């Protein structure tokens, strides 16, 4: 009986210290392997998300530039250039075009540059408060952008209390709904260069983030391609090159830690081809 009891007790002994340590060691190896797989998967997912965001930003930016450049020169006054090009590396471009058929002549000379614009007898219902428009005289150079502060449709009067014009315009000067958009790269935050959009009278806005380079070339009507056109009216095609980069550095590339993509497009100008 005593031997049977001792045998039973021996069979019910606990785990030895060596066995416990071995089990912990094997569990640690498995845990480290699983964690390593998770870290790699998370890293690959993060990189792919960064690349996707970068490509979406770049495509949106180049689509916007293509759309705006295609409109350059549409029904603008002869004294304005449809495209103003600056070889600033990254380059800058200013695009001007009439956004609609919204225009009206003034029927009375302005007494002072701050006077209201009297478009008596003309429909000015297409203008609105807060809109930035352009006034010019067809027979003379120069003009002014200004912000409309009030549109008196019944009286056909336009107020511009926030903007004093550079001169008093004569009768038959024209108020025109004109778009002028400036695009350039802002490097004030060196870690996050952005494509900026600037409208008349407004602060610059970020249009696309992490765009580090923007280049334009211009094919003229004589077939020559230049960086800055001497005669903007002779531009027939604008060639765009835009480079985007990821927002977060990649530690796998210590010397140059950003992933990049360059997109290209070209735009034939239908409004300057005269």
Query: What's the whole-model pTM score?
Result: 0.80
102 and 135 Cβ atoms separated by less than 8 Å = no
| Residue 86 CB burial class (10 angstroms; 0-12, 13-18, ≥19) | middle
Which 8-state DSSP code applies to residue 64? H
In a domain, 8, yes or no: no
Q: How far apart are CA 49 and CA 46, in angstroms?
A: 5
CA distances from residue 158 to 71, 97, 130, 172, 266 in whole angstroms, order as listed: 27, 21, 11, 15, 40
In a domain, 39, yes or no: no
In a domain, 229, yes or no: yes
Place of tokens 């009278």: 201
Q: Give 39 or 263, the one with higher predicted confidence.
A: 263
| Residue 260 CB burial class (10 angstroms; 0-12, 13-18, ≥19) | middle
Half-sphere exposure (CA, 13 Å, Cβ side) for 236? 9
| Residue span of the structural domain in which 101 resides | 50-268
Q: pLDDT tens-digit profile of 85-104?
A: 999 999 999 999 998 889 99
In a domain, 71, yes or no: yes
In a domain, 95, yes or no: yes
How many residues does this entry show for the chain?
274
Residue 185's pLDDT band, with cuts at 50, 70 and 90, is very high
In a domain, 4, yes or no: no
pLDDT score of 78: 86
In a domain, 176, yes or no: yes
In a domain, 20, yes or no: no
Average pLDDT for 212-217: 96
Place of tokens 């709904």: 177
Q: pLDDT tens-digit profile of 238-267?
A: 999 999 998 888 777 777 888 889 999 999
Percent of the chain whose predicted confidence (pLDDT) is above 70: 89
Q: pLDDT tens-digit profile of 130-153?
A: 999 999 998 877 899 999 999 999
Number of domains comprising the chain: 1
According to the per-residue pLDDT averaged within each range, which of 12-16, 33-37, 243-247 is highest?
A: 243-247
Give the H or E element holding residue 198.
strand 194-198
């Amino acid at each position: 009986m005593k031997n049977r009891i001792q045998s039973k007790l021996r069979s019910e002994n606990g785990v030895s210290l060596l066995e416990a340590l071995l089990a912990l060691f094997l569990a640690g190896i498995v845990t480290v392997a699983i964690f390593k797989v998770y870290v790699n998967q998370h890293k690959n997912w993060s990189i792919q998300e960064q690349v996707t965001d970068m490509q979406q930003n770049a495509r949106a930016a180049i689509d916007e530039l293509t759309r705006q450049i295609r409109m350059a020169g549409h029904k603008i006054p002869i004294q304005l250039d449809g495209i103003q090009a600056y070889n600033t590396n990254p380059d800058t471009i200013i695009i001007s075009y009439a956004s609609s058929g919204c225009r009206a002549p003034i029927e009375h000379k302005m007494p002072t540059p701050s006077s209201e614009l009297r478009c008596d007898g003309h429909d000015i219902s297409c203008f609105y408060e807060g809109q930035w428009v352009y006034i010019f005289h067809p027979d003379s150079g120069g003009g002014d952008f200004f912000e409309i502060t009030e549109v008196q449709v019944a009286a056909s009067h336009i107020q511009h209390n926030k903007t004093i014009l550079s001169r008093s315009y004569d009768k038959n000067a024209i108020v025109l709904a004109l778009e002028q958009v400036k695009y350039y790269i802002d490097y004030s935050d060196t870690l996050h260069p952005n494509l900026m959009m600037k409208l008349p009278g407004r602060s610059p806005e970020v249009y696309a983030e992490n765009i580090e380079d923007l280049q334009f070339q211009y094919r003229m009507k004589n077939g020559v391609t230049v960086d800055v056109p001497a005669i903007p009216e002779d531009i027939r095609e604008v060639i765009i090159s835009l480079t985007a980069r990821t927002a977060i550095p990649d530690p796998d590339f210590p010397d140059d830690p950003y992933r990049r993509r360059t997109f290209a497009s070209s735009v034939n100008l239908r409004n300057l081809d005269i």
